[in-house]
Structure 1
Amino acid sequence: MTLIFLGVSYIVLLLIILKMPKRLSLPEVYITFLVVSFHTLFADLLFADILDLYDLMKQNGPQFSDLAIQITLPVLFGILYLNFMPNEKEKFIPYFIFWVAFSTVYEQISRYFGYVEYKGWKIWFSVLFYIYACAFMRWHYRFIRNGINKE
């Protein structure tokens, strides 16, 4: 069930990304890929491996399959988030709330299908992490957009 869930997630995300109007440049996608992958790997290393608060795919310790998923799946969500992110504060706030809620729900669905197994992790930790991640991604977007446009 876990692999089917992950496969469906990849297919849906890739189809959306292929069909969506592109608002991100290739350098922005590339930089976002690296930044999101780093944050995901760091968070999972700290919370899953060092603090042992959850497991991915019911495996203890890092596995190649975990690594492949960690450096690709969150990036696809990050690209979607940035591509449609509104600049106006009035529009961004509901967008931000939607993505924090969506990310939390997606994580719970991941638990149901066996990708994530809590071992001390609490759902409110996830909400706090997604608040940080979505706020960071807004800053990240502005930072790279300003840096690329200056060149």
Structure 2
Amino acid sequence: MYWLPYLILVINLVIIWQMPKNLTKQEIYISWCVIALINLSTDVVFSFYFKLYELAGPGVQLPVHLIELTLGASFGIIFLNFTPEKIRPFLLYAGAWIVISMIFEIAFVKVHFLNYFTWKPWYSPPYYFGALLYLRWHLWFLRKPESYHDKT
């Protein structure tokens, strides 16, 4: 029925499996969980509470829930794995990822996996940019020396 997100997930998982790893296993694990939680929380708020869009029809659906917990996280791991450290290359890299994200978003609309209600496509690039900035900060936070972490 909604085959495109699942096909992309399989491709992403193959990419993750084959890519040269610039992330540790712990960074992948923690980042996957954080991204999945943020993705699921965002979709619950934007879709169910504010009714801005819906994924694959109304209501909670197990296959959609699976995609919410995996697809965004798989993209996030690939993004983080190759994230440049310097700011200018990062901004160019993030810009490319925003374009790629918009292409996937439009494809999901075309196959009726994503249905807009009051959401407008031009809302997405700033959202994606904020998410990518957060991921950059997240990786920095995971990697900063222990002496910089707050001792509680």
Give the TM-score normalised by the residue count of structure 2. Answer: 0.91
Gaps of 5+ in 2: none
| Matched residue, 2:2 | 2
The total of aligned residue pairs comes to: 149
1:49–1:62 contact (8 Å) kept in structure 2: no
**Paired amino acid for 1:48:** S
Q: Distance in 2 between matches of 1:129 and 1:82?
A: 17
| Matched residue, 1:128 | 126
| Matched residue, 2:113 | 115
2:36–2:72 contact (8 Å) kept in structure 1: yes
Counterpart mapping for 1:81-92 below 5 A? 81-92=79-90
Deviates more, 1:80-89 or 1:98-107: 98-107
- 3-state SS of paired residue (2:144): helix
Q: 1:17 to 1:149 in 2, by over 3 A?
A: farther
**Structure 1 residue runs of 4+, over 2 Å off?**
147-151
Q: 1:147 to 1:62 in 2, by over 3 A?
A: farther
**Paired amino acid for 2:17:** L
Deviation at 1:134, TM superposition (A): 0.6
Alignment partner of 1:143 out of 131, 138, 141: 141
| Matched residue, 2:78 | 80
Gaps of 5+ in 1: none
Q: 1:110 to 1:149 in 2, by over 3 A?
A: farther
Deviation at 1:82, TM superposition (A): 0.1
Give the % identical residues: 32
Q: 1:41 to 1:148 in 2, by over 3 A?
A: farther
**Paired amino acid for 1:115:** F
**Paired amino acid for 1:39:** I
| Matched residue, 2:55 | 56
> Superposition RMSD on alpha carbons, in Å?
1.8
Deviation at 1:34, TM superposition (A): 1.3
